[in-house]
């Protein structure tokens, strides 16, 4: 084998990293890059004065070589037989695999390595790499370690700009299929700005993109003076608590002053043994949170806690926690196997290539004085915490917020959460849960949890000022904080602001101005409580259907010293729709839908309507307003201008001069000329001579809407979001109507996803106009579904006020109500006995429980607009009707929710019943007039619906066996008397006894067979479907006893003869 001298800059970079405890980033370009991993690991292991560094090797599906020892031995034997291998010489790669602790990990399983540390990380299969994977893996490397990125052979690094990434398949839609890899270009250009990054070929030659490597010299390492001061402070703190056991023994294991103070704070809460106390520990990556939690759990054992539970997204995430629990117990003079034992369990998803980490620690049992246990439970197993005394939640930001809330109970809780980096990108924990606990503690309510907050600042995994951390946070916008972009000048009025579209080519060009503007946009997303993740950045940059808009004040109103305008509001939009009917039908038939087009696919699937997907629309993915400008109308103004834009209304706006192609290259690229195109060079030579710099000819960063080329008019604008009352009101003010509410709650936020739409005017839109009010049809269907579903999945998740807001929003989107239901239709819902019970309750002659079974029917009849339009209930009455009739709440539950007394609820409900009864009376009066006018009609046609009122009534009188005729006069007198007493008729349709006797006589004269008549009339008439309540009060009934029936039949036969 020919020996080759490695570039001194490679060795210098690794040695400087080990001395300063900073990480180094190496990019290997070439198909043989994996062979150089062995050499790099060898240099690293010779430089470090400790055991061989462990390696994390991540890949997509295939490694390209076998890691199984027996398989490799068989392969070596075959190569020896073929003469391809010298048995007297060892293969360096085989020695590397056999002698190194390597964790082989699929990219899809990298969530299991959170909280672990490695000395070296190797990332292959660049096309499968995403921002989430990059942040998740790079942050596991400890100080002095290496991050190695393997790239395939390319003749030019510019080929990576247009490389098709695996994630791009999810970005394409039927109407938008052209993906531009803007993120790759920005990623490659950012490598030149990382001070500890070298881009090498597969022969370890440094490529010209590594411009900062020219000034790479052996450094002195870390500042010994600052390090000495920190160590002295830590030593003083340890000495001050040395005599306080078990505190002194545990603090002696701390690595920084911050960590030592955190351990003391935790143990103070443990010693107090105060129930309903939460200790929140927040920090960035690598600050020693998991180690501090492990030491405190060991301290809880010393203080006598018997049942301690630990949870995390995966058992592998707790490796550091359980490791420091064991160290803490050993420091407290506990002996393994004699005083405690460690229980490990394999995981069914680890596979055969899990290596030494295939078995994770799940329990530590202590039995020195009495039985004590520290047990792992999954985050969803909160029901197992009934006997818990202490619960520790590690990496709480990576657990869905509803699950974290369920883990809180009448015991001590430790919350450890990452606020920056990959796990901290979804800051829902620090922004929502901790804020809620802080607010409850401020109110000092009885039964509220006590909150204690602890923060770690000093890094432990690597030294402060790590260049790789700075580069990663910048390229993925992981540390975009709104505190860096405050608005200090006066705010302009919302009416004077205009909306601009951001050119994404300019935004992701990696110019200095565009980078500053991008950080501002991402800071607004972070401050808006969104569940952000690094992948959102690639979605914004590469997805062809996405657009970005910003609301800016008038020119000259900016308070920024860098001349950038203040971003008051940002809107991210995804164009959806324009799906062919054949694609929709094929997808619905097989129950599968393509990626993207969230609203069209959901609506087509839920409403079985293939025509909606053909319409073009825009979904508002995100809208965020600057915290200094919230609740001042800027969000509403931005949304209004966006709706006008897509409706074809042009609003002229002044141009904003923000140019990114100013000819000034970024730092480190001065004087660099690009390689001349067309020059014939070898692949190696072209790659070694290539110099990269950001593009100079770029469009303006901000473009007024009226200056856009190829503006597209749409049929609708919608939004899909986690339903809350504030968000519902915001979108409702923009004229949107709720058409869909998902029955299952979101796993991350615990909220139900809602879809709201607003139809845009299509007047003058040639070939794309839509006839009819299609949105009202969807709203009508949604209203009927929601009225029934509020008592099922939404009963516990949503409140009465939110339910009422939903129903009112949907009803506002409907067409004007038509005629109310008829008495016949009402008779299918309420029988006469039901009407009598309602009447008794309205007169306070019956108890509330007598009509409880009728509440759902009354609420359904009202909210589905079946009653006359003259009926009007106040907002509080509607809330009571929703709570009792649709949500099936008890009076006491509703009283607590609405904050009023139960007697007031019952009094208002009595008024509701009286008002609804009056509307039913109105329906009955209208139907009575129609029935009298129809009596004079003659003739009969086949079918009950076409039968004249006269013959239909005579048939029904035969069915009732003359009950109304026998008691007619008495019923008439009773009815008139009740009218005088009550002021309103108790019956919905009063029955005239004279008419009944007339119909009986006509029936006798015709002498038709009753059976034949029944064959022609299949449904009862309106008059007898709703029986007079007076007859029920008198005791009469259409059901006649058998003996009386026989006597009446004999008498009838005698009269006929």
Which positions make up the binding site? 286-295, 461, 623-625, 630-636, 733
- The tokens describing 491, both together, are 């705010």
Residue 1057 to residue 21: CA distance in whole angstroms: 118
Q: Helix, strand or coil for residue 1026?
A: coil
In sequence order, what are the residues at sequence separation of 6 or more whose Cβ sits closer than 8 angstroms to the Cβ of residue 381? Answer: 311
- The tokens describing 79, both together, are 């190569």
13: which DSSP letter?
A: H
Structure-token match 């195109």, residue found: 677
- The tokens describing 520, both together, are 């501002």
- The tokens describing 225, both together, are 């003076």
- The tokens describing 337, both together, are 């196997």
Binding positions for ATP are 286-295, 461
For the CA atoms of the chain, what is the radius of gyration?
38
Binding positions for acetyl-CoA are 623-625, 630-636, 733
Q: Helix, strand or coil for residue 452?
A: strand
Residue 339 to residue 343: CA distance in whole angstroms: 14
- The tokens describing 814, both together, are 């409907």
E strands, 162-228, in order: 197-201
Residue 729 to residue 736: CA distance in whole angstroms: 10
Q: Considering only CA atoms, which of 994, 953, 993, 793 is closest in space to residue 887?
A: 793
- The tokens describing 937, both together, are 């009609």
Q: Helix, strand or coil for residue 924?
A: helix
206: which DSSP letter?
A: B
198: which DSSP letter?
A: E
Q: What pairs with residue 102 in β-bridges?
A: 55
Q: Considering only CA atoms, which of 605, 476, 623 is closest in space to residue 132?
A: 476
Q: Are 15 and 220 in contact (CB under 8 A)?
A: no
Q: Are 811 and 781 in contact (CB under 8 A)?
A: no
- The tokens describing 750, both together, are 């615990």
Q: Considering only CA atoms, which of 95, 99, 103, 108 is closest in space to residue 120?
A: 103
Question: What are the backbone angles phi and psi of residue 374, rounded to the nearest 5°?
Answer: -120, 105
Residue 261 to residue 292: CA distance in whole angstroms: 10
Q: What pairs with residue 336 in β-bridges?
A: 340
- The tokens describing 323, both together, are 């490791």
Q: Helix, strand or coil for residue 647?
A: coil
- The tokens describing 988, both together, are 């919905």
User: Does residue 246 have a cis peptide bond before it, meaning omega lies within 30 degrees of 0?
Assistant: yes
* Residues written for the chain: 1057
Concatenated DSSP letters for 392-414?
EESSGGGS-HHHHHHH--SSEEE
E strands, 82-140, in order: 102-106, 118-123
Q: Considering only CA atoms, which of 160, 141, 168 is closest in space to residue 199?
A: 160
In sequence order, what are the residues at sequence separation of 6 or more whose Cβ sits closer than 8 angstroms to the Cβ of residue 791? Answer: 856, 886, 887, 888
Q: Are 702 and 502 in contact (CB under 8 A)?
A: yes
Residue 336 to residue 361: CA distance in whole angstroms: 14
Please state, in angstroms and as integers, the Cα–Cα distance from residue 583 to each residue in 589, 592, 611, 788, following that order: 10, 11, 11, 32
Cβ atoms < 10 Å from Cβ of 521: 21
User: Helices (DSSP H) in 332-433: which residue ranges?
Assistant: 401-407, 421-424, 428
Q: How many helices (H) and strands (E) does the chain have?
A: 42, 22
Residue 745 to residue 754: CA distance in whole angstroms: 10
């Amino acid at each position: 084998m020919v020996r080759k001298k490695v570039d001194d800059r490679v060795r210098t970079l690794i040695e400087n990293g080990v001395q300063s405890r900073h990480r180094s980033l190496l990019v290997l370009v070439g198909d043989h890059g994996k062979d150089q991993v062995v050499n790099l690991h060898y240099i690293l292991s010779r430089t470090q004065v400790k055991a061989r560094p462990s390696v994390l090797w991540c890949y997509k599906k295939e490694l390209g070589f076998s890691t199984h020892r027996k398989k490799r031995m068989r392969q070596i034997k075959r190569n020896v037989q073929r003469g391809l291998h010298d048995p007297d010489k060892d293969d360096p790669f085989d020695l590397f695999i056999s002698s190194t602790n390597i964790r082989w990990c699929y990219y899809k399983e990298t969530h299991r390595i959170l909280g672990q540390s490695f000395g070296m990380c190797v990332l292959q299969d660049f096309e499968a790499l995403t921002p989430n994977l990059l942040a998740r893996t790079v942050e596991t490397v400890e100080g002095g370690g290496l991050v190695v990125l393997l790239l395939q052979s390319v003749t030019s690094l510019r080929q990576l700009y247009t490389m098709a990434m695996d994630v791009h398949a999810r970005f394409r839609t039927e109407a938008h299929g052209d993906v531009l890899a803007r993120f790759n270009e920005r990623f490659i250009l950012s490598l030149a700005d990382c001070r500890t990054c070298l881009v090498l070929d597969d022969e370890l030659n440094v490529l010209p993109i590594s411009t900062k490597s020219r000034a790479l010299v052996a450094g002195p390492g870390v500042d010994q003076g600052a390090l000495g001061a920190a160590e002295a402070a830590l030593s003083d703190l340890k000495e001050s608590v040395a005599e306080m056991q078990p505190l002194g023994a545990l603090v002696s294991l701390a690595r920084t002053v911050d960590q030592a103070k955190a351990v003391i704070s935790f143990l103070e809460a443990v010693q107090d043994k105060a129930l309903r106390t939460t200790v929140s520990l927040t920090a960035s990556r690598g600050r020693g949170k998991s180690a501090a939690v492990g030491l405190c759990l060991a301290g809880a054992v010393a203080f006598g806690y018997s049942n301690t539970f630990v949870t995390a997204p995966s058992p592998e995430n707790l490796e550091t926690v359980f490791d420091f629990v064991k160290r803490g117990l050993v420091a407290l003079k506990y002996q393994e196997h004699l005083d405690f034992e460690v229980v490990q369990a394999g995981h069914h998803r680890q596979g055969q290539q899990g290596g030494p980490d295939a078995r994770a620690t799940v329990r530590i049992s202590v039995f020195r004085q009495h039985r004590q246990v520290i047990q792992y439970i999954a985050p969803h197993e909160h029901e197992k915490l009934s006997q818990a005394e202490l619960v520790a939640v590690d990496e709480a930001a990576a657990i869905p917020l509803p699950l974290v809330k369920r883990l809180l109970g009448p015991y001590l809780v430790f919350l450890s959460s990452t606020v920056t980096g990959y796990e901290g990108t979804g800051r829902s924990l620090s922004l929502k849960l901790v804020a809620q606990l802080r607010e409850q503690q401020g109110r000092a309510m009885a039964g509220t949890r006590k909150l204690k907050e602890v923060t770690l600042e000093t890094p432990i995994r690597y030294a402060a000022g790590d260049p790789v951390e700075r580069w990663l946070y910048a390229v993925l916008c992981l540390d975009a904080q709104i505190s860096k972009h405050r608005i200090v000048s006066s705010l302009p009025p919302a009416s004077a602001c205009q909306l601009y579209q951001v050119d994404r080519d300019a935004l992701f060009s990696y110019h200095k101005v565009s980078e500053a503007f991008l950080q501002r946009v991402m800071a607004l997303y972070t401050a808006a409580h969104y569940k952000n993740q690094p992948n959102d950045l690639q979605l914004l940059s590469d997805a062809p259907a996405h657009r970005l808009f910003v609301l800016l004040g008038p020119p000259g109103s900016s308070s920024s010293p860098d001349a950038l305008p203040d971003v008051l509001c940002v809107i991210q939009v995804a164009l959806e729709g324009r799906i062919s009917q054949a694609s929709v039908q094929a997808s619905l038939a097989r129950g599968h839908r393509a990626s993207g087009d969230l609203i069209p696919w959901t609506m087509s699937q839920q409403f079985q309507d293939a025509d909606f997907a053909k319409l073009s629309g825009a979904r508002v993915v995100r809208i965020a307003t600057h915290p200094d400008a919230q609740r001042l109308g800027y969000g509403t103004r931005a949304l209004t201008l966006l709706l006008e834009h897509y409706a074809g209304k042009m609003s002229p706006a002044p141009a904003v001069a923000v140019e990114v192609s100013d000819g000034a290259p970024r730092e480190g690229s001065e004087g660099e000329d690009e390689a001349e195109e067309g020059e014939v060079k070898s692949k190696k030579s072209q790659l070694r001579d290539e110099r990269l710099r950001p593009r100079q000819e770029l469009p303006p960063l901000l473009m007024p809407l009226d200056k856009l080329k190829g503006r597209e008019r749409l049929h609708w604008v919608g939004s899909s979001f986690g339903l809350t009352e504030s968000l519902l009101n915001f979108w409702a003010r923009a004229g949107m109507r709720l058409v869909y509410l998902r029955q299952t709650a979101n796993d991350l936020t615990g909220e139900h996803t809602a879809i709201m739409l607003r139809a845009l005017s299509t007047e003058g839109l040639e070939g794309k106009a839509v006839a009819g009010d299609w949105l009202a049809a969807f709203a009508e269907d949604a209203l009927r579904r929601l009225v029934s579903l509020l008592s099922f999945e939404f009963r516990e998740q949503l409140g009465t006020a939110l339910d009422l807001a939903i129903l009112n929003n949907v009803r506002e989107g409907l067409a004007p109500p038509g005629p109310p239901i008829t008495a016949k239709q009402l008779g299918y819902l309420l029988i006469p006995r039901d009407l009598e019970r309602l009447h008794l309750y309205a007169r306070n002659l019956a108890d509330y429980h007598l009509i409880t079974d009728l509440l759902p029917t009354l609420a359904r009849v009202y909210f589905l607009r079946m009653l006359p339009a003259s009926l009007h209930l106040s907002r509080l009455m509607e809330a009571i009707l929703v709570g009792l009739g649709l949500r099936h709440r008890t009076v006491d539950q509703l009283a607590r929710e609405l904050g009023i007394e139960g007697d007031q609820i019952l009094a208002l409900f009595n008024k509701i019943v009286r008002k609804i009864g009056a509307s039913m009376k109105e329906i009955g009066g209208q139907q009575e007039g129609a029935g009298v006018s129809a009596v004079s009609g003659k003739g009969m046609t086949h079918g009950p619906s076409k039968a004249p009122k006269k013959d239909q009534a005579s048939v029904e009188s035969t069915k009732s066996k003359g009950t109304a005729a026998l008691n007619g006069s008495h019923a008439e007198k009773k009815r008139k008397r009740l009218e005088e007493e009550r002021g309103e008729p108790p019956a919905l349709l009063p029955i005239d006894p004279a008419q009944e006797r007339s119909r009986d006589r006509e029936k006798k004269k015709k002498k038709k067979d009753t059976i034949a008549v029944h064959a022609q009339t299949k449904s009862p008439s309106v008059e007898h479907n709703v029986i007079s309540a007076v007859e029920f009060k008198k005791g009469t009934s259409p059901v006649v006893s058998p003996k009386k029936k026989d006597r009446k039949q004999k008498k009838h036969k005698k009269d006929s003869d």
